[in-house]
Amino acid sequence: MADSIIELKNVSTVYEGERVPAIRDIDLTIESGEFVAIIGPNGAGKTTLLETINGLLPHTRGQVRVLGQDVARFGTQLRSQIGYVPQEFQFDETTPVLVRDVVLMGRYGRIGLFRRPTAEDYAQVQEALELLGLAELAERPLGKLSGGQQQKVLLARALAKEPKILLLDEPFSHLDCAAREEVAELITRWHRERSLTVLLVLHDLEAIPQSCHRVVLLNGGRIRHDGARERVVRAFTLAHRE
């Protein structure tokens, strides 16, 4: 379809030095403005799928198009329109960079290499900090924050980018229940108000926000189900009861 924002055709990705593909034969089409949950057990290929979509990981077979362009050729350009919150992050205590500067990094793609941030850039950074309840931590070194606070900083950086696509890899993993609900609500609102396309990776069915209507179930590197939330959740539950 002409306005598919993400399109994978017969895609497989093999890690360097490995023989078995981590994801294989993936056919997946996401329309602009969709909110899709990607679920599956550990090792299913969820992280590999997200990193194949944003081109951080080169795919071995098939075609990946994002915003109508080939990720293999235009990865850097495309990533400036994609907000990505990785699953793995660890900033040790000596990481001196301040929270505000990390969030400002989300603006770099717009600022360009040799220009200075504008008032608009600083305003977007401030808004993202406030939305995530980080305003008071803005001048603190990232390395001195808790894992949950660091995860929120990465979310703020992704939002400050004003991306067309948001790829979130288990973004609730370090958050407590209350923060989890707040962040889910925030993502839902951004999706609705800004017609943002969101791919949300989770391993926990319970955590799928209500507003997320489509669920893709991955297992063993393949898509096992893709469809309406209720249907996929039922299939997943049945498979795990056996």
Ligand X SMILES: Nc1ncnc2c1ncn2[C@@H]1O[C@H](COP(=O)(O)OP(=O)(O)O)[C@@H](O)[C@H]1O
The angle at the Cα of 232, spanning 228 to 233, to the nearest 5 degrees, equals 115
Q: How far is the CB of 183 from ligand X (least distance, A)?
A: 19
Between residues 42 and 94, which has the closer beta carbon with respect to ligand X?
42
Q: Among 2-10, 45-53, 109-117, 142-150, which window interacts with ligand X (CB under 6 A)?
A: 45-53
Quick one: what does residue 103 bind among Mg ion, ligand X, none, with the CB cut-off 5 to 8 Å set by partner type?
none
Identify the residue among 6, 26, 39, 46 touching ligand X (CB under 6 A): 46
Nearer to Mg ion, 46 or 65 (CB): 46
Does 86 sit near ligand X (CB under 6 A)? no
Residues whose CB is less than 8 angstroms from the CB of residue 224 and which lie 6 or more positions away in sequence, other chains included:
40, 217, 218, 235
Look at phi and psi of residue 195 and say left if phi exceeds 0, alpha if psi is from -120 to 50, else beta: left
Question: What is the per-residue DSSP string for 165-230?
Answer: EEEEESTTTT--HHHHHHHHHHHHHHHHHTT-EEEEEES-GGG--TT--EEEEEETTEEEEEEEHH
Please report whether residue 19 would count as binding ligand X according to CB under 6 A: no
Characterize 103-139 residue by residue with b for buried, 16 or more Cβ atoms within 10 angstroms of its Cβ, and e for exposed: bbebbebbeeeeeeeeeebeebbebbbebbebeebbe
Min CB(41)–Mg ion separation in Å: 10
Q: Is position 52 an interface residue for ligand X (rule: CB under 6 A)?
A: no
For residues 110 and 214, which CB has a smaller minimum distance to ligand X in the complex?
214
Q: Is residue 24 near ligand X by the rule CB under 6 A? A: no
> Is there a contact between 72 and 58 (Cβ–Cβ < 8 Å)?
yes
Of the pair 87, 126, the CB lying nearest Mg ion is at: 87
CB of 177 to ligand X, least distance (A): 23
Single residue of 13, 47, 52, 81 touching Mg ion by CB under 5 A: 47
87 counts as binding Mg ion under rule CB under 5 A: yes
Q: What is the three-state SS of 44-58?
A: CCHHHHHHHHCCCCC
Task: Number of residues interacting with ligand X: please give it, by CB under 6 A.
Answer: 11
Per CB under 5 A, residues contacting Mg ion are 46-47, 87
Per CB under 6 A, residues contacting ligand X are 15, 18, 22, 40, 42-48
